Structures are given as C-alpha cells and as structure tokens.
Amino acid sequence: MGALLISIIVVILLIVIFLLNFYRNPKRKIPQGNNIVSPADGKIIRILKVKSEKIGINKGFLGKIETLTKDIAKECYVISIFMSPLDVHVNRAPIDGKVESIKHEKGKFFAAFNLKRSLMNEKNEIIIKNKEIDRVKVIQIAGFLARRIICLVSKDEKVNKGQKMGKIVLGSQVTLILPSKKVKLKARINQKVFGGSTIIADLR
C-alpha cells in the first residue's frame, strides 16, 4: 500500500511539473531595430521560398494545412517552427503592426484511403499589417491529440513586436510567411529559436 501511495504521489508531482513547465511565460528581451522575431519557441524544420498563390504545409506524417501566400506577396518565405511539449507554448507577434485579419479553421478528416488528404489540422491565421513590410502571416497549427488553439488578439488591434498573441495546447507548429523581397533572411534549418527574441529576418 505504501509503495502504491508513493507511486501515485510521484505521478501527481510529474503531472504538476509538466503543467507548470507547459504554462510558463518567461520574459523575453525584445530586439530593437527593423527586424522580424520568431513567433514561437522551438526548432525551425522548414524554410521554403515560394511563388505559388497557395501552398500545402505538412504537419507530422499525415497532417497538413493549406494556406494562401498571395495575400502576403507574390514571392514569400515560408518558415515552419516545430514546438515540442517541452517548449514554451506562448505565441508572439513577430513585428509591430495592426491585426488585419484572423481566420480560424477546424481540423478535418477525409477518406482513410486518401492518405494525402487524410488529415487537415486545425489552424488559426493572423495577418499583421506593418507600414515597412506591408504584411506578414502567422499560422498557429494544432495537432490532432490536443486540438486547442488560443488566440488573444482581435481584428484591428495594434500589436507590438514580441507581444503575446496566443498559445497552442500541447505542442504543435507555427508557420511564419514573409514577403521575400522585403526581408533579408537570417533564420536557418534546425535552428533553435525563442519567441519574441530570436531574429528571423531583417527588413531590407
């Protein structure tokens, strides 16, 4: 009985430690100057330069989303950041500006035999308008185990670089879309980044 009680206490403590770790919101030193910072903590897993009007972004082995790029620019950088369960899950504004639009879409299941479209993840797209760069897009992408995206900003709200914009519960992915002709990219594949403090690109 004593061993069982100890085991239960250990499990409860581990859960408490995990939740405290997950919900932490550390202060970040926001870099000054004309730059774009990471919207999330995690590892950069993909950097694409695209000219298409619409693209698919993979999430895990089967999941994916589809998003427009033409609403940002004709040529864009698409930067995907993987958030593990151990990363800080606060999402932050990559640049000063005004929230031009917010678009939330629930996840979908398709026919099992169609693996290419078997899963479409829940997503929340936030477009921020900035007078120097025009527009950037932050996409919060949830997983299927814990499909909960929290958005803390509203349309027409002014945001400051590094400001808290939301959270994704239990790890997932954040994708940043930038107009490639207006930025000098500094991010690299497999780079560890920190929301609000790691510079992703400088403005040209």
Q: Which entry of 38, 80, 172, 180 is annotated as an active-site residue?
A: 172
The amino acid at residue 161 is K
Q: Which of 47-56, 62-71, 128-137 has the highest mean pLDDT?
A: 128-137
Whole-number Cα distances in Å, 125 to 94, 106, 149:
13, 12, 11
CA separation for the pair 71, 181 (Å, rounded): 15
The pTM assigned to this predicted structure is 0.85
pLDDT tens digits, 124-180: 999 999 999 999 999 998 876 656 899 999 999 999 999 999 998 776 899 999 999
- DSSP string covering 29-60: -PPPSSEEE-SSSEEEEEEEEE-SSEEEEEET
The mean pLDDT value for 3-15 works out to 77
Domain positions in the chain? 2-203
Q: What is the pLDDT of residue 127?
A: 98
Does the annotation mark 154 as catalytic?
A: no
Beta bridge pairs of residue 204: none
